[in-house]
């Protein structure tokens, strides 16, 4: 009788789980094929030869610093993910750029056909230095599942002015005095920021590079988009043909606009950029910009988010726009609901991007299936 009762209770508990249709459930715990929570935060997804590869930050239970490294999962249906392990581990060597305890954030991987390498870029902060280093780091691999070989890190594009600046823009920037604008957030300070106050400050050491994504355009050129100038201005920087260096050509987006968490995609010949404001781990309302040319000018639009918690980007912060393979109209918006008290319990919000009058719309859904893209 006791056995029968245990079986009955177990069945009642298990049946609803087993009966659940395979689906993406934004904000819910997402388990990999081994039954463990997927640990790939601030991530991006690469599609290569019929398989999706999801790269992200491994987060531990009590710290947001990197104690493990960059992880990778693979999937064919975007719902069921197989853990491929740590593709770039932290270094146990003291004083290594990626020493255990450093900060490795927002990893993104692109494939370079010219070198047949998989190129990983991420935001790196050196151990015990908070967010002061503001470096971009790069690693390469022969296979999407790694192992990735770490190449280098640093600030970006030293001694370079934005590619679209006129001689007058440069001259104006050159005359800005750092001592004159010591008080932040005043109207003259804001104007000086737009004119390149911090850009000039960082000319010799290279520009700061924090929250980031990568984008490969239809012509095969790759770009690194990152929060620069103390998170006040985004830079869109061209990468070399092997995707592992910056060429020195870059464009500023929304100078002084305080945008983080850049998400970039192209739909019907138009570029769309979704960002967040700067409120750390706390969510805020997403912003959206569009441009006919990647190098601008960019026009700002209201948030694309709709439905429950749209005003806080569903409690999350964007990280990537995943183009669904073979479907030029299908994109998935990827975001993270951060959990600073228990970082590994941060959740994923994946939602389809639809289009209304050509403009992206991201609507909350409790659950949905990417199978609808392939119907």
Q: Establish whether the linkage from the previous residue to 297 is cis, with ω within 30° of 0.
A: yes
Task: Give the SS3 label for residue 58.
Answer: coil
| Backbone dihedral region for residue 50 (phi beyond 0: left; psi -120 to 50: alpha; all else: beta) | left
Q: Is 274 in the site for ligand GAL (CB under 6 A)?
A: no
How far is residue 316's CA from residue 284's CA, in Å, rounded to a whole number? 8
Compute how many residues bind ligand GAL; rule: CB under 6 A: 9
Q: Which of 26, 27, 42, 162 lies at the binding interface for ligand GAL (CB under 6 A)?
A: 42
Nearest Cα residue to 82 out of 43, 35, 45: 35
Q: Is 260 in the site for ligand GAL (CB under 6 A)?
A: yes
Give whichever of 113 and 280 is closer to ligand GAL, judged by the CB atom: 280
Q: Which of 281, 301, 364, 368 lies at the binding interface for ligand GAL (CB under 6 A)?
A: 281
| Backbone dihedral region for residue 317 (phi beyond 0: left; psi -120 to 50: alpha; all else: beta) | beta
Q: Which residues within the stretch 134-193 sit at the binding site for ligand GAL (CB under 6 A)?
A: none
- Are 253 and 230 in contact by the 8 Å Cβ rule? The answer is no
Q: Which of 97, 105, 229, 238 lies at the binding interface for ligand GAL (CB under 6 A)?
A: 105
Q: Establish whether the linkage from the previous residue to 355 is cis, with ω within 30° of 0.
A: no
Give whichever of 42 and 144 is closer to ligand GAL, judged by the CB atom: 42
In the bound complex, what is the minimum distance in angstroms from residue 105's beta carbon to ligand GAL?
5
CB within 8 A of 257, min separation 6: which ones?
232, 233, 234, 287
Give whichever of 244 and 319 is closer to ligand GAL, judged by the CB atom: 319
Q: Is 280 in the site for ligand GAL (CB under 6 A)?
A: yes
Q: Is 106 in the site for ligand GAL (CB under 6 A)?
A: yes
* Residue 72, strand partner residues: 55
Closest CB to ligand GAL belongs to which residue? 280
In the bound complex, what is the minimum distance in angstroms from residue 288's beta carbon to ligand GAL?
17
Q: Is 344 in the site for ligand GAL (CB under 6 A)?
A: no
For the record, the structure tokens of 229 come out as 């100038």
CA-based max dimension of the chain: 88
332-339: Cβ within 8 A, 24+ apart: 332/78, 332/370, 333/263, 333/274, 333/304, 333/362, 334/43, 334/44, 334/45, 334/263, 336/41, 336/42, 337/27, 337/283, 338/41, 338/281, 338/282, 338/283
Give whichever of 97 and 211 is closer to ligand GAL, judged by the CB atom: 211
Q: Is 211 in the site for ligand GAL (CB under 6 A)?
A: yes
Q: Is 59 in the site for ligand GAL (CB under 6 A)?
A: no
Give whichever of 145 and 275 is closer to ligand GAL, judged by the CB atom: 275
Site string for ligand GAL, 312-331 (x = CB under 6 A): -----x--------------
Q: Is 230 in the site for ligand GAL (CB under 6 A)?
A: no
Give whichever of 109 and 112 is closer to ligand GAL, judged by the CB atom: 109
Tell me which residues touch ligand GAL (CB under 6 A).
Answer: 42, 105-106, 211, 260-261, 280-281, 317
């Amino acid at each position: 009788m006791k056995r029968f009762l245990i079986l009955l209770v177990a069945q009642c508990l298990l049946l609803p789980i087993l009966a659940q249709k395979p689906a993406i459930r934004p904000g819910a715990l997402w388990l990999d094929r081994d039954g463990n929570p997927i640990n790939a935060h601030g991530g991006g997804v690469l599609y290569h030869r019929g398989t999706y590869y999801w790269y992200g930050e491994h987060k531990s239970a009590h710290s947001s610093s990197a104690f493990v490294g960059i992880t990778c999962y693979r999937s064919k249906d975007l719902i069921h993910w197989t853990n491929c392990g740590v593709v770039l581990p932290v270094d146990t060597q003291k004083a290594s750029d990626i020493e255990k305890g450093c900060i490795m954030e927002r990893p993104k991987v692109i494939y370079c056909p010219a070198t047949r390498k998989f190129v990983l870029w991420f935001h790196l902060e050196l151990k015990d230095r908070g967010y002061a280093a503001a470096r971009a780091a790069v690693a390469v691999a022969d296979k999407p599942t790694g192992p990735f070989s770490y190449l280098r890190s640093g600030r970006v594009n030293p001694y370079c002015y934005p590619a679209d600046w006129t001689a007058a823009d440069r001259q104006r920037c050159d005359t800005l005095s750092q001592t004159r604008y010591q008080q932040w957030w005043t109207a003259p300070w804001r104007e000086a920021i737009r004119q390149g106050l911090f850009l000039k400050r960082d000319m010799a050491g290279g520009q700061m590079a924090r929250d980031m994504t990568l984008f490969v355009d239809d012509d095969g050129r790759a770009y690194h988009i990152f929060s620069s100038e103390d998170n006040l201005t985004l830079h869109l920087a061209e990468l070399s043909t092997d995707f592992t260096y910056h060429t020195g050509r870059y464009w500023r987006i929304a100078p002084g606009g305080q945008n983080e968490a850049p998400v970039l995609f192209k739909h019907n010949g138009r570029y769309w950029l979704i960002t967040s404001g700067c409120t750390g781990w706390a969510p805020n309302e997403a912003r959206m910009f569009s441009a006919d040319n990647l190098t601008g000018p960019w026009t700002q639009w209201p948030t694309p988010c709709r439905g429950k918690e749209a005003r806080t980007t569903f409690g999350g912060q964007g990280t990537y726009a995943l183009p669904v393979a073979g479907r030029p109209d299908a994109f998935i918006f990827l975001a993270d609901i951060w959990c600073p008290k228990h970082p590994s319990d941060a959740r994923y919000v994946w939602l389809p991007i639809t289009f209304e009058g050509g403009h992206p719309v991201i609507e909350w859904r409790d659950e949905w299936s990417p199978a609808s893209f392939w119907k």
